Amino acid sequence: MRQRRERNGILVARTTVLDSVVYAADSPGTMPHRERYLFVCTNRRPAGHPKGSCADKGSEELVSKLKAAIAEGGGKATVRACATGCLDLCEVGISIVQEPEHVAYGYVTAADIPELASAALQGQTLARLVVFPAAKG
């Protein structure tokens, strides 16, 4: 559910479900909402933890590589890569979730980043890395 109102002359939309504030793309001086997000788990657990963690597998490096690949592809305004906490996909980490497609990727490596960025820039998903497809409605 969204609520719209003005704050200091800027149209603001509040998404109550996500509890986040989204600034309208046509408001001057504000960051546009991206069409697509890639959330990269960078959770780090203590050494020896039985679940392990994506950070221990090198996910922090993948965030910067993904950002660079998106920028090289000309997609900074439309696709955003973000570091996030545990996605509860530890057993298939390094894990990444792509929204709005609501698709989870697993076992991601640095070698996958160019193809992953390219798919996202084209509004597609990368089937070979999908571990949990979007829920069918």
Q: What residues make contact with ligand FES under the rule CB under 6 A? A: 41, 43, 53-54, 86-90, 93, 95
Q: Torsion angle, CA of 34/39/43/48, rounded to 10 degrees?
A: -170
Minimum Å gap between C-beta 50 and ligand FES is 12
54 Cβ contact partners less than 8 Å away, ≥ 6 residues apart: 40, 41, 42, 43, 44, 86, 90, 93, 94, 95
Min dist. Cβ of residue 59 to ligand FES (A): 7
Q: How far is the CB of 93 from ligand FES (least distance, A)?
A: 4
Nearer to ligand FES (CB atom), residue 29 or residue 50 = 50
- CB-wise, 75 or 93, nearer to ligand FES? 93
Comparing C-alpha atoms, which of 83, 81, 85 is closest to residue 43? 85
Q: Closer CB to ligand FES, residue 43 or residue 98?
A: 43
